[in-house]
Amino acid sequence: MPTTLSASEITTPRTAITRTVLMCRPDFFTVDYRINPWMHPEQPTDTSLAVRQWQTLYDTYVGLGFDVQLVDPIDGLPDMVYAANGGFVIDNVAYGASFTYEQRQPEGPAYMDWFRAQDFDVRVPENINEGEGDFLLVGGVILAGTGFRSASNSHAEVAAIYGRQVVTLELVNPSFYHLDTAIAVLDATNIAYLPSAFTDQGNATLQRLFPDALIATEEDAAVLGLNSFSDGYNVVIASRAKDFERQLRERGYNPIGVDLSELLRGGGGVKCCTLELRR
């Protein structure tokens, strides 16, 4: 159930902050292997539909005034469209990704090459991690996921690189295998999350850190509604996440629904397609 709000919380003004993001066109998107529960290679995918849906997301960001940069897709790397997994960037330092599954492992060097070409300070990872899929910056704190993809020892590596507090959260539901499928960062102090994706300890931590967090329904999480991207006011979400949309409006945000149903078949949504570049 949604959190009960005070009048002041409902009317809190929200401020949009222009974002710089990295995306990758899904020109080679398909599902021909299975590394998460969303993927069913026996069911044909429609690459052209995926491109059209992705283009709507791209156009939405441009319309919001975002600086949208592009990394070239690579034939044979169908999941490269999920740019969030390609690294984690704060203060011009790009911590590279090192993927769990061999099918995605070439993506790590491809994204690090792009970061270098754009003059980021690239840190080659020593530990398995899947970038912003499992590292979310909330104000000055980094929330870090583990349990399915990123190794917990990557959390200490990130803490050392960025000199910030890192809070480890263990994921327990294989359908929400990355942190960004179970938590949405709304601004520097607010998040939304799905309690059933976490251990009891993780829930206690989230309740302590974010007592006023939005609580997502299972139905909205099941369409990757939490896999969203916010500029502090505008929140781009899955168009089918209707209760999440309602809660966001109640809190003074402006939800914008997009349909990425074809890309959902690979296990990704809005946030998965979006890597924030913090210079």
Which residues are identified as catalytic?
A: 178, 272
Q: Are strands 141-146 and 135-138 parallel, antiparallel or unpaired?
A: antiparallel
Quickly count helices (H) and strands (E) in the chain: 8, 15
Tokens of 144: 């870090």
Apex 33 CA angle, 55 and 175, nearest 5: 75
Give the C-alpha separation, 73 to 96, whole Å.
Answer: 17
Could you tell me the strand order of the sheet in which 229-230 lies?
229-230, 234-238, 254-258
**78-91 burial, b for 16+ CB within 10 Å, e for fewer?**
bbbbbbbbbbbbbe
Give the C-alpha separation, 220 to 238, whole Å.
Answer: 9
**Residue 32: which of 104, 100, 86 has the closest Cα?**
104
Supply the DSSP symbol for 168. Answer: E
